[in-house]
Amino acid sequence: MKAKTLPEVIRAFDPMHPLTGQELQEWYIDRPGNPLERIKIYLQGLALANEPVKLLFTGHVGSGKSTTLNKLAEELKRQFLIVPFDARQSLSIADLSYVDLLLGMATSLFKRATEPDVLGKAPSQIATDVWTDLTGFIEESIFGPTHFRPAPAEAEASVKVSLLTAEFQTKFAKEATTRDQVRKWVEPRLAELQDKIDYVADLVQVHYKRPVLFFVEGTDRPDLSVARALFLEHGYSLTAFRTSAIYTFPIGLRYSKDFNSIKDYFTETFMLPNLKVANPDGTPHPEGLACLISAIQARLTTGLLADDARDHIIRASGGLMRTLVRLTQRAAVNSLAAGGAAIALPHVEAAIKEERADFVAGLSRDDYPILYERYQDKQVSADEAVLRLLQTRALLEYANGDPWCDVHPIALPLVLERAAPSLQD
Amino acid sequence: MADAPLAALEKLQGQLPPHLARSDLAELAVLLRYAERGAWAFAIYNTVPVRDEVAEVLRQLLAPLPIYEFNLSTQQPNPLTFLETLPTAQERAIVFFFDLEQTGGAGWGYLEMQRENLAARPLGLVFWINRPAWAEGVRTAPNFWSQRSGVFDFTINSPAVLSEVRGAWAGQPVQLDSPADWERQFRLFSGLLREYEDEQAPPAAQAELHGKIAYLLNFADRQAEAAAHLQQQLELARQAHDRRQQVEAMNNLGWTTQLQQGRAAALDWYRQALAAAGSDRRGRADSLRNIASVLFREGQPAEALSMLHEALDLFRAVGDRLGEANTLKAIGDVHNFRKDLDAALASYAQALDLFRAVGDRLGEANTLQAIGDVQRFRDENDAALASYAQALDLFRAVGDRLGEANTLKAIGMFNLEQNQVEEALKLLEQALQLYQQIGDRVGQANIYWNLGLHLAQQSDLKQAEPLLAQAVALGQQIAPNHPVILHWLTVLEQVQSQLSTETGKS
């Protein structure tokens, strides 16, 4: 439902949550260069034909990746058993390792498979044998010598698996010593873990009639060095099982020299492009602008946002969906706090000023000349500094055609102001 | 502005000082009010008093939404740990997180790691940070930062206003009217002290804050930390040649020493304070009253009384009504000890009036409890219970657990004497738990002793013996071979001997 008042605008433009459920149906906007259909072709063409695929999915933080994956899940839920796994919720992102990831994926699969709608469809003897086997596997090959709370002996076999996986995920996320112990114990037994993933996935396919598809989110968020270790040094392990999987991937690593080696492990890489608000030469990009207008209009009724205010938000967002959402929310807050009933240009300007203060706080003096050079040449490169600025969104990348980059429109006045003296020299 | 918070804000704007009447305040209130699925906001400040003033205004504007407050620290850097203690995970509420800067960077790490967990709760989270922390957050928690709803600026740019606001708050007396007051004032004075230290403010101003923090720590039974702050107050007061503060620090060091090491060690500090006070009448009066309290407890009530009257005259001469009230209460205690009950009640009544006049609820509670004790001694039981009930309410209201425990014990003992055993046991159990929480071994020993003695008097020696034994064991730890403890030991041995005779007979 569209917002009809400013308080409703504040609720509808929420930068904290990706779209789900009813909002996903009503507010999701397709965009030029959206890889959704191409991802579906890979999954429906290959994975459904028993040729598992491993995909990387990348885009700027706040570009709409989580919402796009929610949309994909919605469209594929009748063809696949989707096992979502969010590394951000279950693991320690700061020291994320490939063993953690595989353990998280495996335990999420085991847990999902114990739900009555899935392996409950298997003949009862088969199901009991599977769960008994998995209980032993979790106790001996995952926990090993690590202290854990065993499932009650009298519990049903499937309940034991469910309880043990929950126990594992909680302990593993919260306790650093448990993480260390389990990693050391599981690392030499990884082949066994991958076999178990395949074994349970095969059973799901036979009895539930749908292949397993992992959605692994949060793997685009660790430090670049952690991400490099994950995807480059252990790309093989992340792709060795037979099940299909989509991993989110850091945009900074996409342009690093290592990417050529990383991509060999994976079937394909897809990028969710930022919406273009302008072309490299600075002329407006009508298609991108129209799309961003639709994204705003889908959520609010006319009259709440003046056209010039709306256009200002769109230009300032740089095509980043979360920035667009936040600017609109803050402009609505500004208007309401000033006693207004609609958003006008000054409310947006105040919101932009606040957003700009973030760049003032976050950018170092050395960043400005680099940003100014990229503003001039628009070239994406694999330099560490450029990768970092892409990661922090001071630089925005635009794909859909030859990739190019530009300074975030909100940071641009700062870059021009602070790089100017060196230009005059 | 039809909306209630906005209407309230509009009304309030006219009354707010200029440094608070700014658009960011209204905007933050609007965001927190309407972002029903939750929102993350950062509020930037450069002095803790303004942070607390804004928080207070928001409390008024956002009522009845529940507002919780948590102080982060290096020991407790994880915001999620606090959120997990809230009544329900799905209740809409506002949570203020203070001192994210004091977590050594760990707080940002947790926010970055756990943002999906945090986003799953319909909470308006407000993180109060200073400018350096702003840059740190943008750099070290970029993903959490990108999901924020906004940054709201409450910094004061004018050095004159900044200095005025800090000075006004640093000069506020400590006033504890509720448990929340303790948290707020500890946060405020600790924050101000950090700001003063960073800016190398005059030693006397820093010393004042150390003194206030020490008072709060003493109130929370954290004597060792209090003593460290008092030592710093003393050192800074010496640097500043501030005699009043030196005397105050010495007297308060005497009090913490008394709690930790006993009266003899305390007396040294009080005498040093008296010597340092010289012609400073208030300092002199404080020191005399403290020395008198030790002499009184050491069995010299006449000397104590004479010093207390000297102190009373001095307090009256300088117009210090709180000092006067405290001294009258102490005089009442000496009369009470000498069983001069009319004189005791007369002093207590004067003290009570003064405590009420100056709004000191803790002093009022202590005096009411003492009045209750006198009334009980006179068998004016209804009046005694009424006094205790008033005292109990006040102790609970100000969050004084020791006072609460003492009053519960007094009412419990009264019930025990009236043979209302069930009610008595309930109250004594509550008192015992409070003593255990505070770590007050004397209180615990007294309860074990009184319960044990009551059971022994009822000839229930089997139940009485372990309680008496516990009382003696604690007593020997606190004051080995003190005459009272030796008396307890004698009673215990009699009970044990009688028990073994009975066992032999059977």
ipTM: 0.79
- The predicted structure's pLDDT at residue A11: 94
For a pLDDT cut of 70, what percent of chain A falls above it?
89
Copy the structure tokens of residue A155: 């519990």
Q: Do A7 and B34 touch (CB under 8 A)?
A: yes
Per domain, the residue ranges of chain A are: 34-271, 367-424
Q: Do B38 and A92 touch (CB under 8 A)?
A: no
Stretch among A85-94, A179-188, A212-221, B328-337 having the lowest mean pLDDT: A85-94
pLDDT by residue (tens digit) across B152-167? 999 988 888 888 888 8
pLDDT, mean of residues A191-216: 87
On chain A, the residues whose CB falls within 8 A of the CB of B23 are 334, 337-338, 350
Distances from the Cα of B318 to the Cα of A373, B247, B284, B304, B312, angstroms: 72, 16, 11, 21, 10
- The one-character DSSP state at A246 is E
Q: How confident is the model at residue A423 (pLDDT cuts 50, 70, 90)?
A: very low
The whole-angstrom separation of Cα B411 and Cα B427 is: 7
Q: Do B39 and A354 touch (CB under 8 A)?
A: no
Identify the top-confidence range among A124-128, A279-283, B86-90, B316-320: B316-320
Residue type, B217: L
CB B98 within 8 A of CB B127: no
pLDDT by residue (tens digit) across B420-437? 888 998 999 999 999 888
Is the pLDDT at B415 greater than 60, yes or no?
A: yes
On chain A, the residues whose CB falls within 8 A of the CB of B38 are 16
B145 in contact with A, Cβ within 8 Å? yes
Q: Do A14 and B6 touch (CB under 8 A)?
A: no
How far away is chain B from the Cα of A326, in angstroms, using its nearest Cα? Answer: 6
B34 in contact with A, Cβ within 8 Å? yes
The minimal CB distance from B135 to the residues A86, A88, A361 is found for A361
The whole-angstrom separation of Cα B349 and Cα A70 is: 72
- Position of tokens 């660790």? A222
Q: How confident is the model at residue B103 (pLDDT cuts 50, 70, 90)?
A: very high
Copy the structure tokens of residue B345: 């009640």
A88 in contact with B, Cβ within 8 Å? yes
User: Which CATH superfamily, name and number, covers B1-170?
Assistant: P-loop containing nucleotide triphosphate hydrolases (3.40.50.300)
Per residue in B141-176, is it b (16+ CB within 10 Å) or e — as a string? bbbbbbbbbbbbbbebeeeeebeebbeebbeeebeb
Q: Do B138 and A361 touch (CB under 8 A)?
A: yes
Query: Partners of A82 in the beta sheet?
Result: A213
- Position of tokens 């102490």? B330
- Position of tokens 């004061």? B156
Stretch among A202-206, B10-14, B44-48, B333-337 having the lowest mean pLDDT: B10-14
- The predicted structure's pLDDT at residue B506: 58
**Chain A interface, best mutation among B40, B110, B116, by max A CB count within 10 A:** B116
- Residue B254 class from Cβ within 10 Å (0-12 exposed, 13-18 middle, 19+ buried)? buried
On chain A, the residues whose CB falls within 8 A of the CB of B34 are 7, 10-11, 333, 336
Identify the top-confidence range among A63-67, A392-396, B38-42, B60-64: B38-42
Q: Do B142 and A11 touch (CB under 8 A)?
A: no
Q: Do B147 and A333 touch (CB under 8 A)?
A: no
Is the pLDDT at B172 greater than 90, yes or no?
A: no
Rounded to 10 deg, the angle between the B131-140 and B106-113 helix axes is: 40
B39 in contact with A, Cβ within 8 Å? yes
A101 in contact with B, Cβ within 8 Å? no
The whole-angstrom separation of Cα A330 and Cα A349 is: 10
- The predicted structure's pLDDT at residue A224: 74
A22 in contact with B, Cβ within 8 Å? no
Copy the structure tokens of residue B302: 């006449």
Residue type, A393: R
The whole-angstrom separation of Cα A188 and Cα A176 is: 20
Is the pLDDT at A368 greater than 70, yes or no?
A: yes
Average model confidence (pLDDT) for chain B? 90
CB A226 within 8 A of CB A167: no
Q: How confident is the model at residue B253 (pLDDT cuts 50, 70, 90)?
A: very high
For a pLDDT cut of 90, what percent of chain B falls above it?
57
CB B432 within 8 A of CB B444: yes
Please tell me which residue of chain B has the smallest CA distance to A88.
B113
Residue type, B209: L
Q: How many CB atoms lie within 10 A of CB B309?
A: 14
Average model confidence (pLDDT) for chain A? 85
Alpha helices in B338-440 (DSSP H): 341-358, 361-377, 381-398, 401-417, 421-438
How far away is chain A from the Cα of B143, in angstroms, using its nearest Cα? Answer: 7
Copy the structure tokens of residue B325: 């009230």
How far away is chain A from the Cα of B360, in angstroms, using its nearest Cα? Answer: 40
Q: Do A326 and B148 touch (CB under 8 A)?
A: yes
CB A155 within 8 A of CB A164: no
pTM over 0.80: no
Q: How confident is the model at residue A425 (pLDDT cuts 50, 70, 90)?
A: very low
- Position of tokens 């009895």? A207
CA dihedral B128, B133, B134, B137 (to 10 degrees): -100
pLDDT, mean of residues A177-204: 81
Is the pLDDT at A85 greater than 90, yes or no?
A: no
The whole-angstrom separation of Cα B311 and Cα A421 is: 71
Is the pLDDT at B9 greater than 60, yes or no?
A: yes
Closest by CA position to A248, among listed A224, A279, A269: A269
Closest by CA position to B140, among listed A170, A93, A251, A235: A93
Closest by CA position to B292, among listed B311, B274, B307: B307
Is the pLDDT at B490 greater than 70, yes or no?
A: yes
pLDDT by residue (tens digit) across B467-488? 999 999 988 887 777 888 889 9
Is the pLDDT at B102 greater than 80, yes or no?
A: yes
- Count CA within 13 A, CB hemisphere, residue A305: 30
| CATH topology classification for A34-271 | Rossmann fold (3.40.50)
Q: Are strands B150-153 and B67-71 parallel, antiparallel or unpaired?
A: unpaired
Query: Partners of A284 in the beta sheet?
Result: A278
Is the pLDDT at A179 greater than 80, yes or no?
A: no
pLDDT, mean of residues B69-92: 87
Is the pLDDT at B455 greater than 90, yes or no?
A: no
Q: Do A391 and B23 touch (CB under 8 A)?
A: no
The whole-angstrom separation of Cα B343 and Cα A179 is: 70
Residue B254's contacts (CB-CB under 8 Å, 6 or more residues apart) are B266, B267, B268, B269, B270, B273, B290
A vs B, Cβ pairs < 8 A, gives 107
On chain B, the residues whose CB falls within 8 A of the CB of A62 are 146-147
Closest by CA position to A320, among listed A268, A277, A265, A377: A277
Q: Do B6 and A88 touch (CB under 8 A)?
A: no
Distances from the Cα of B87 to the Cα of A372, B82, B84, B124, angstroms: 51, 11, 8, 15
User: Kind and range of the H or E element at A112?
Assistant: helix A98-113
On chain B, the residues whose CB falls within 8 A of the CB of A16 are 37-40, 119, 147, 149
B358 in contact with A, Cβ within 8 Å? no
The whole-angstrom separation of Cα A196 and Cα B263 is: 71
- The one-character DSSP state at A179 is H
Stretch among A193-197, A264-268, B185-189, B243-247 having the lowest mean pLDDT: A193-197
Q: Do A337 and B148 touch (CB under 8 A)?
A: no
Please tell me which residue of chain B has the smallest CA distance to A335.
B27
- The predicted structure's pLDDT at residue B478: 78
B148 in contact with A, Cβ within 8 Å? yes
Residues 219-238 of A with CB under 8 A from B: 221
Classify A33 in phi/psi space as left (phi over 0), alpha (psi -120 to 50) or beta: left
Stretch among A86-95, A192-201, A224-233 having the lowest mean pLDDT: A86-95
User: Kind and range of the H or E element at A212?
Assistant: strand A212-217
List, as one string, the DSSP characters of B243-286. Answer: HHHHHHHHHHHHHHHHHHH-HHHHHHHHHHHHHHHTT-HHHHHH
**Chain B interface, best mutation among A336, A348, A366, by max B CB count within 10 A:** A336
pLDDT, mean of residues A197-210: 85
Is the pLDDT at B173 greater than 90, yes or no?
A: no
A133 in contact with B, Cβ within 8 Å? no
pLDDT, mean of residues A250-264: 85
pLDDT, mean of residues A149-172: 73
Q: How many CB atoms lie within 10 A of CB B116?
A: 19
Identify the top-confidence range among A207-221, A271-285, B371-385, B446-460: B371-385
On chain B, the residues whose CB falls within 8 A of the CB of A92 are 113
